[in-house]
Amino acid sequence: MRERLRLRAFLFKNSSFLKAVPRATWFAGSHIASPGLLHCPHTGAVSHNKSCRAKGSLQPRIKLSHRHNLYGMAWPDRFGVQFGQQPNYESTAGERQRRGENTVTTATQVSEMTTNAAPTGNLEITVSRAELLRELTAAQSVVERKTTIPILSNFLFEATQDEGGDRLTITATDLDQSLKTSCSARVKKPGACTIPARKLYDYIKLLPEGEISIKLMDNHWVQIRAGRSNTKMVGMARANFPQVPEFPSAGAVKLPVAALKNMVSKTIFAISNEESRYTLNGALLVLKAESMAMVATDGHRLAHIEKMGEQLEGIQGEKKTLIPRKALGELSGLLSNTDSDAIEFADDDQTLFFRVGGRVLTSRKLTGQFPNYEAVLPRDNNKFVIVRSEDLMSAIQRVAQFADERSGAIKIRLEQNELKLSSSSTDAGESEDSIETPYNYDPLVVGFNSQYLLDFLKAIGNTGEVRLEFKDAQSAGQMRPEDGNEDVKYRYILMPMRI
């Protein structure tokens, strides 16, 4: 009742409003939705007039919509404002306080106001085409190709001038992960802008070698000049780009690049692709003071690798971190294109951070408990055979051509000094191959997914010899390189199939 009386007093104070709004809508529930009505942010008057004369201002007024409350004040977002004008949050809150109402500022409002207040500047730089293309190539894989949020399809360019020299920083994100990289540039005017990532990347690849000039223009358009080429691209407001977490100032651990790269390549293929098995959508990184290990599984197979003899400073006891598959893929690419001997790794409650040279990769943490993988590691597989990995891969590839398309199952038969592989299907036919190799145990027949076997052989590089260890036809088999490094223990556990 008090709110109705307050609204009635407001309506009678502004007579133009009474003329514009039918009487039946004065107290029509939770909002007033009369098209064409304008609200003056200075006087509070509501009318059909298109300008405000208070304080000599020609500031456009705010359209009334379902985003306005009973008193015609704009809710704190960017909708319902003519000509792209931002609502005045401070005056809105102040007017509500003068009327005796409680003013509550939500976290979303604070985030929007802080972001919108960030200066963008009129960016204008000159950068080498080779350096720009190198950094765009590193960042473009992070950009979301198909998204309902248009800003995620853009790069964020930030030009800065400081004592260390002029730099152009490029940021890409899909909200789950982000990559921030930089290159040297001649900065005429510091500032920031966003540019469509895929279109820019494809365009820069087509330009000849030389200097490229990039300039921010009106309405977020970006001008790109190179030689006789002159292009203008439609960007978006820098304020719309999500905030990217900053690398922690303390608590980082240095990891050797060569060892980490090898561990990722040996395990990433075993990560589950099923979204429902959330904790299996990543690899578990286990750090100790003198060793580091990584393990991945999809429930049908498990890849485990451990590197001994490492001296990791800052690690007390054991540190376990679950890294998402997509982040591992991006990390693998960064590790392959760096000259650094070590990277920096850090994390907080929600985010993982990897600093590789001058690039920083961040990823959202996977939550949940990784399975107890140590409980499924075979301990009494006393039957084994050693074969050349190249011979085994060739035989599997030939036999798999006639395996069932759905299961990909092939049969491995171990007999006296011979390993036989066979497959059959009603649609394709049947095939058999054999490899001569020492074997002095009881005959054994076991079935496996042919693609799982090939994944392991590809991971070890299809070189040297491989050791296959078995217990019986119903127990998990184990594969590992026979001539492996003593400091690196790599094993691949595979569940059998019924054939």
Residue ranges of the chain whose pLDDT lies below 70: 1-121, 484
The residues, any chain, with a CB within 8 Å of residue 178's CB and separated by 6 or more, are 142, 171, 172, 244, 245, 361, 362
- CA 409 to CA 388: how far, in whole Å? 21
Q: Within 13 Å and on the Cβ side, how many CA atoms surround 79?
A: 6
Question: How many beta carbons lie within 10 A of that of residue 220, not counting itself?
Answer: 17
Give the gyration radius of the chain's Cα atoms.
Answer: 32
Domain that holds residue 428: 378-494
Q: Is 84 left (phi over 0), alpha (psi -120 to 50) or beta?
A: left
What is the predicted pLDDT for the residue at 148? 87
Instruction: Specify whether 29 is located in the same domain as 55.
Output: yes
List % helix, strand, coil for the chain (3-state, nearest 5).
25, 35, 40
What is the predicted pLDDT for the residue at 37? 41
CA nearest neighbour of 330 among 306, 302, 352: 352
232-272 pLDDT tens trace: 999 999 999 999 999 998 889 999 999 999 999 999 999 99
What is the predicted pLDDT for the residue at 4? 57
- Quickly list H helices, 249-309: 257-267
Residue whose tokens read 């358009």: 221
Sheet holding 211-216, edge to edge: 186-189, 124-128, 211-216, 221-226, 229-234
Does 372 reside within a domain? Answer: no
Instruction: Specify whether 57 is located in the same domain as 163.
Output: no
Name the domain boundary from 217, 240, 263: 240
Instruction: Specify whether 198 is located in the same domain as 179.
Output: yes
Instruction: Specify whether 233 is located in the same domain as 339.
Output: no
We report the CATH number of the domain holding residue 129 as 3.10.150.10
Does 370 reside within a domain? Answer: no
What is the predicted pLDDT for the residue at 5? 57
Does 317 reside within a domain? Answer: yes
Does 475 reside within a domain? Answer: yes
Instruction: Specify whether 22 is located in the same domain as 107.
Output: yes
Instruction: Specify whether 391 is located in the same domain as 488.
Output: yes
- CA 36 to CA 361: how far, in whole Å? 48
Instruction: Specify whether 261 is located in the same domain as 322.
Output: yes
- CA 413 to CA 421: how far, in whole Å? 6
Instruction: Specify whether 233 is located in the same domain as 128.
Output: yes
| Spatial contact of 450 and 396, defined as CB atoms under 8 Å apart | yes
- The two three-digit tokens of residue 184, written as one number: 């040297």
- The two three-digit tokens of residue 72, written as one number: 């015609």
Does 135 reside within a domain? Answer: yes
| Spatial contact of 174 and 140, defined as CB atoms under 8 Å apart | no
Name the domain boundary from 90, 117, 144: 117
SS3 label, residue 349: coil
- The two three-digit tokens of residue 7, written as one number: 């609204």
- CA 271 to CA 267: how far, in whole Å? 7
Q: Phi first, then psi: give them for residue 188, nearest 5 degrees.
A: -85, -40
CA nearest neighbour of 470 among 449, 499, 439, 498: 439
Name the domain boundary from 97, 117, 137: 117
Instruction: Specify whether 196 is located in the same domain as 212.
Output: yes
Start-to-end CA distance of the chain, whole Å, equals 77
Q: Within 13 Å and on the Cβ side, how many CA atoms surround 394?
A: 8
Instruction: Specify whether 351 is located in the same domain as 402.
Output: no
Instruction: Specify whether 65 is located in the same domain as 170.
Output: no
Residue whose tokens read 């019924």: 498
User: In the chain, how many domains are there?
Assistant: 4
Instruction: Specify whether 142 is located in the same domain as 112.
Output: no
- CA 173 to CA 317: how far, in whole Å? 34
- CA 68 to CA 70: how far, in whole Å? 7
286-340 pLDDT tens trace: 999 899 999 999 999 999 999 998 888 888 889 999 999 999 999 999 999 999 9
What is the predicted pLDDT for the residue at 224? 97
Does 90 reside within a domain? Answer: yes
Does 165 reside within a domain? Answer: yes
Q: Phi first, then psi: give them for residue 452, nearest 5 degrees.
A: -65, -40
Does 248 reside within a domain? Answer: no
